[in-house]
């Protein structure tokens, strides 16, 4: 079966980006369920997922239908450049040891302690519901933006949405299987990969939007991923402090 390179990169990008965000959301849902009861946590999660799906289903086709393709490519390309550079910058700083890494176990522990300190409601606990809803909705909004921008510009909105859905199901399944061992997920490596792909798509589409016809057409995307990957690796090595400069690295982050 012939699969276009840009579609394959798009699906991997959406899947990885959604997985990273869903790992962060799952930490919050697990904390809400453990501390406040599973019924409220799962109801909050379900409502957030429904709201996010509705956003993709309404905004995605509207953008594809009403916005001219060149305009869409410049705007989306620019957005992906900014968004991707933010992810890549953080991932490089973390890989270089200049920024604390996310510790999902510490975040989980902190949430549970805060929630258990609050008085409990009945079978339906509003605090657990709201925390699960906000956690999934806010983390999922980034996924919605990625799905709509990548999906609408490449004309594969349905595939992008399916890749995001697959990520939600995989993370939920794995998360429930391993319970609280979310810190084992290589979050920073995944964020680095997503950042590389978003910056590559951003470069490709903003270039096409201003009139550049890339050599090799869609093959320019994996070439850009490779170029930016080498650059990120070089920057990590350059920025990594020597042992003399920094006897103790940054602590883990729960922010």
Partner 1 sequence: MSASPEETVPASSWAGRQLRAFGRFWWDFLVGETPELLVGAVLVVGAVALVHHGGVARSVTEVALPALVITLLALSLIRAKRTGRH
26 neighbors 176 (Cβ within 8 angstroms): no
Using the rule CB under 8 A, give the single segment among 121-129, 139-147, 159-167, 168-176 that binds partner 1: 139-147
Q: Which is nearer to partner 1, 62 or 169 (CB)?
A: 62
78 neighbors 201 (Cβ within 8 angstroms): no
CB of 125 to partner 1, least distance (A): 18
CB of 57 to partner 1, least distance (A): 20
User: Quick one: 41 exposed, middle or buried, by C-beta within 10 A (0-12, 13-18, 19+)?
Assistant: buried
Residue 178's contacts (CB-CB under 8 Å, 6 or more residues apart) are 184
Using the rule CB under 8 A, give the single segment among 17-25, 61-69, 72-80, 162-170 that binds partner 1: 72-80
183 binds partner 1 (CB under 8 A): no
Binding residues for partner 1, how many (CB under 8 A)? Answer: 37
Cα–Cα distances (Å) from 212 to 120, 153, 204, 208, 215, in that order, read 59, 16, 9, 5, 9
For every residue of 124-167, DSSP letters joined together read: S-HHHHHHHHHHHHHHHHHHHHHHHHHHHHHT-HHHHHHHHHHH
26 neighbors 182 (Cβ within 8 angstroms): yes
254 binds partner 1 (CB under 8 A): no
Residue 80's contacts (CB-CB under 8 Å, 6 or more residues apart) are 149, 150, 198, 199, 201, 202, 205, 206
CB of 247 to partner 1, least distance (A): 17
CB of 248 to partner 1, least distance (A): 15
When binding is defined by CB under 8 A, the residue of 50, 210, 219, 233 that contacts partner 1 is: 210
Which residues, numbered 15-54, are part of the site for partner 1 (CB under 8 A)? Answer: none
CB of 2 to partner 1, least distance (A): 26
When binding is defined by CB under 8 A, the residue of 7, 55, 93, 172 that contacts partner 1 is: 93
Using the rule CB under 8 A, give the single segment among 13-21, 101-109, 165-173, 223-231 that binds partner 1: 223-231
Question: Does residue 120 come out as left (phi exceeding 0), alpha (psi in the -120 to 50 range) or beta?
Answer: beta
Using the rule CB under 8 A, give the single segment among 50-58, 126-134, 185-193, 227-235 that binds partner 1: 227-235
CB of 238 to partner 1, least distance (A): 9
Q: Using CB under 8 A, list all residues that contact partner 1.
A: 74, 77-79, 81-83, 85-86, 88-90, 92-93, 98-99, 141-142, 145, 199, 202-203, 206-207, 209-215, 224, 227-228, 231, 235, 239
């Amino acid at each position: 079966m012939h699969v276009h390179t840009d579609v394959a990169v798009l699906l991997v990008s959406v899947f990885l980006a959604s997985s990273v965000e869903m790992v962060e959301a799952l930490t919050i849902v697990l904390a809400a369920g453990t501390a406040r009861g599973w019924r409220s946590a799962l109801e909050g999660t379900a409502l957030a997922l429904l709201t996010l799906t509705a956003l993709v289903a309404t905004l995605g086709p509207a953008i594809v239908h009403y916005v001219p393709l060149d305009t869409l490519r410049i705007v989306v390309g620019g957005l992906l450049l900014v968004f991707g550079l933010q992810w890549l910058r953080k991932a490089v700083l973390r890989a270089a040891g200049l920024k604390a890494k996310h510790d999902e176990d510490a975040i989980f522990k902190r949430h549970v302690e805060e929630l258990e300190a609050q008085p409990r409601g009945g079978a339906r606990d509003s605090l657990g519901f709201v925390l699960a809803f906000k956690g999934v909705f806010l983390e999922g909004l980034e996924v919605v933006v990625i799905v709509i921008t990548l999906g609408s510009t490449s004309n594969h909105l349905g595939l992008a949405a399916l890749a995001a859905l697959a990520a939600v199901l995989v993370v939920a399944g794995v998360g429930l299987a391993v319970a609280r061992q979310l810190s084992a997920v290589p979050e920073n490596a995944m964020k680095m990969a997503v950042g590389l792909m978003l910056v590559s798509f951003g470069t490709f589409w903003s270039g096409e939007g201003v009139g550049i016809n890339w050599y090799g057409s869609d093959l320019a995307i994996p070439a850009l991923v490779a170029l930016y990957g080498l650059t990120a690796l070089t920057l990590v090595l350059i920025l990594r402090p020597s042992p003399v400069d920094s006897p103790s690295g940054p602590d883990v982050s729960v922010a």
